[in-house]
Chains A and B, each alone.
Chain A
Amino acid sequence: MYILIVEDEPMVARRLRRLIGEVCPQPIARLDVANNLAAARDHLAGREIDLLFLDLNLNGHDGFAALEDSATRAFHTVIVSAHTDRAIDAFEVGVFDFISKPFDAARLQTTFDRLFDADRRANPGATHLVVQKSGRIERVPVADIVRIEGAGSYARLVRRDGSTELHTKSLKRLMDVLPPVFERIHRSHVVRMDVVEALGVHEGSRYDVTLRSGETLPVGRTRVEHVRDRLSGE
């Protein structure tokens, strides 16, 4: 696991580094600290990381632009900030967690628990997904997304008007930040449950759902029961 800390306060960075080392349940292959955004960009350009701890206020500069930038990426972002009033903004663009300063080992433990156990996700869900589109950062309202398709290590967001956007996060990581109305119905499909009309059973135990648009999507066998429960309102 590769973790990057972006924090300009040396003692806070030191504390994060020490506590992460104590509580991270997986072996850490590498843990770097960048004390400003330029150094952070250098780190991110070279290699793919798994988890970013980001301070929103770096040398008097607002880290929110950096946050939007990181939200388009495949890795999860955890904000570490003294400004708790920014938490809602941060969750809106799909951060994985928001740790307010000061923090202790137990608080970091919670973050890692959530990361490795999908059932313990507790954030309110993103209202936007941030995508890179021809070099620009664009926010796609989650309310406008009907379904998401896996495309290798990327994900294709399908909007209500049928247009699509590519996101660098995997389906699994997107599911970590999306609100509960989204359901993983197949290895390669996530769908908004409130646009599903019916669950169909076909020969050879093949299952699919029909959306309001008339589209049909396959449902994985292991997920059929769950989908049925949600459709029947349980």
Chain B
Amino acid sequence: MPRLVLLLLAIWVGVSPALEGRAQDGPHPVWEGRVQFGDDPAWAAPDYNDHDWPTRRLYLAPDTTGIHWIRVPVALGETAAQALPARVELAVLAASEVYWDGVRIGSNGRVGRTPAEEVQGTIHATFHIPDSLYTPGKHAIALRLSNHAMPRDFSYYLYSLNVGPYKTCTLQARTLLPLLFVGGFLFIVVYCGILFILNPKRRALGMLALFCLVVSLLIGAESLRALVNYTYGWHAVRVHAITGLTAAVGLLLLAFVAEQFDAPHQGTVLAGSGLAFAALAAFVPGADYAVMGMYVIALGGALAIAGWAAWRGRRGGWMAVGGLTIGFLVLVGTGFGFASSYFSPAFAALVVGLLATLAVQAHRDTERRRTAQLRETRLELELLKRQIQPHFLMNTITAAMEWIEAEPAEGSRFLGALAAVLRRLGEMSGKRLVRVRQELDLCRSYLEVMSYRVDAALTLDTRGVDPEAWMPPAILHTLLENGLTHNSYPAGHAAVFVLAEERLENPDRRRYTLTTPPGTSAPPNTSPTNGAARNEGTGLRYVRTRLEEVAPGAWTLRSTPDAGGGWTTVIEVPADLSPAPVNPTSSAH
């Protein structure tokens, strides 16, 4: 992998100057010329001897401000006449006058000896060359310039100097492609923004919306030079804005990917990247290099996080890797052209990858929510089944018929207790938590019914139980039912079930202990058949599922036989259970 990166870097280094050259304007771009500070009208003449003037790379800022001249020779081929009409295109951080073979063909602003005298030119200007002067052979361009409004710390100066026919002017054309993507980015801003407002917990959506918004602003700032011909003093503002927006895009990209895949050390990664961006902006001469460095850090870092996520098997990891790899390869392939022209299609590809990641996660969230809903429905059905379970209901009705025929008054009380059990279970249906006192009422009614059924006095004692605490519905009821199913209590005797509560500290928990008394004529020691094991399993599973629903991973349940033949069941739950609505997506982590 490191070798691949090195190879790509090597390709970039080799290819990008060529691309850069190709990306520049016109058939006759000029990069070098002779520069002289001072002012003399004679310097406009085509045959003026400028051999003692120093030759400079024109895009580099001159060391001082003030009036100065640039002279460059131009050679036109035999076909020059076919290219008419022709022009000089000039983008420079200065007010300018342009001379073609000593003839003044135009000015941009007013060249001045002092800042007060100077009138700033626009960043970009075109000067028509009279057809009679545009002939095959050697020509001289002389530029008279003053750059009083140029910021001192700015290392760029002349952005383009082109000679040729009008039709080769490509600045606006090159702006068109990035602008085409702005519509798409803004659509994502609105779409993800609305989704984020509706569900603020999904921060990744907000980040993506913000990311696309800043990308759109960045495209706007990049395109400004072609769209609005501002005066050159504003150029530094625009370049600083581009640097700042690029840093913001980079940080948002990193933050989004880190948030989306729940990467570790997010704060460190973002703070480190922020510092690196600041260092690039402060110390790297030339905004293009700083911006380039930021793209490398942001895309490289995001790719590293996505690669880690994919390696860890996170959903959507590979899609993010795909989108980021396209972005990174375009960056590596286009070099400096990336910032001006190619970053928007690259970011479009990247955003498609990130959107796909979001879609995959949204799908998973939906799935999770559906699972939670299904579980809720299943528990609900389980609770309802308790009311109409044939073993309970039919045996109870048979016993009730016997009571009614033998002792009508008792029979009627029995039916009253049965009605109370059904009503209380009914009241609990659809609830995730009920008050402990409701549960105790249910248990007492249930024990009254069972007392009639077995003709014994079954009662429930409580010790230290907080009646206002919350617990899932029908769990004590289920445990009592289990105890009564697997024990028999002889007619005419009394049996006391005991529920005790202890409050534990650190963490704050409640421990409920339910003691089932031993049956004096215990059932035979036969191994339970599948049917019985299934019944017991269903009861305990119901209790476990209920506890997991309200206190995921934060409960315990132990059920052990006592030496005397009874059972002890211990449940521990967080002390502060309360029926606040849960969001299945937030509890699913």
Contacts and interface: CB of A to CB of B under 8 A. Distances in A.
B342 interface: no
Contacts of B405: 15
B397 interface: yes
Report which residue of A11, A36, A57, A83 has the largest number of chain B beta carbons within 10 angstroms of its beta carbon: A11
Contacts of A83: 390-391
Contact of A60 (B393, B454, B521, B535): B535
B13 interface: no
A155 to B, nearest CB: 29
7 contacts: A8-B523, A9-B395, A14-B402, A15-B399, A38-B526, A102-B397, A102-B398
A95 to B, nearest CB: 17
B528 A60 contact: yes
B81 interface: no
Contacts of B15: none
B531 A61 contact: yes
Interface in A50-104: 57-62, 64-65, 82-84, 100-104
A12 interface: yes
Give the size range of B's interface with the partner: 20 to 34
B402 A11 contact: yes
A15 B530 CA distance: 29
Given A9-B395, A35-B488, A64-B531, 8 more contacts: A9-B453, A11-B399, A12-B402, A15-B399, A15-B405, A59-B485, A60-B536, A61-B526
Interface of B: 390-391, 393-395, 397-403, 405-406, 452-455, 485-488, 491, 521, 523-524, 526, 528-532, 535-536
Contacts of B487: 59
A10 interface: yes
A37 to B, nearest CB: 6
Q: Decide if the interface of chain A is mainly helix, strand, loop or mixed.
A: mixed
A62 B487 CA distance: 15
Contacts of B395: 9, 12, 82, 101
Nearest to A84: B390
B394 A100 contact: yes
B537 to A, nearest CB: 11
B316 to A, nearest CB: 47
Contact of B524 (A12, A37, A102): A37
A103 B405 CA distance: 13
B455 A11 contact: yes
Contacts of B401: 15, 102, 104
Report which residue of B393, B486, B526 has the largest number of chain A beta carbons within 10 angstroms of its beta carbon: B526
Contacts of A101: 394-395, 397-398
A57 B397 contact: no
Nearest to B403: A11
A64 B394 CA distance: 19
B149 to A, nearest CB: 94
B86 to A, nearest CB: 98
A12 B398 contact: yes
5 smallest CB-CB distances across A and B, nearest first, come from A82-B394, A62-B531, A38-B524, A11-B399, A15-B402
Contacts of B531: 57, 61-62, 64
Report which residue of A38, A39, A62 has the largest number of chain B beta carbons within 10 angstroms of its beta carbon: A62
Contacts of B486: 59-60
A102 B402 CA distance: 10
Contact of B391 (A11, A57, A100, A104): A57
A8 B393 contact: no
Interface in A97-150: 100-104
Nearest to A62: B531
Nearest to A101: B394
A11 B453 contact: yes
Contacts of A38: 524, 526
A202 B151 CA distance: 137
A103 B453 contact: no
Contacts of A64: 529, 531
Contacts of A102: 394, 397-398, 400-401
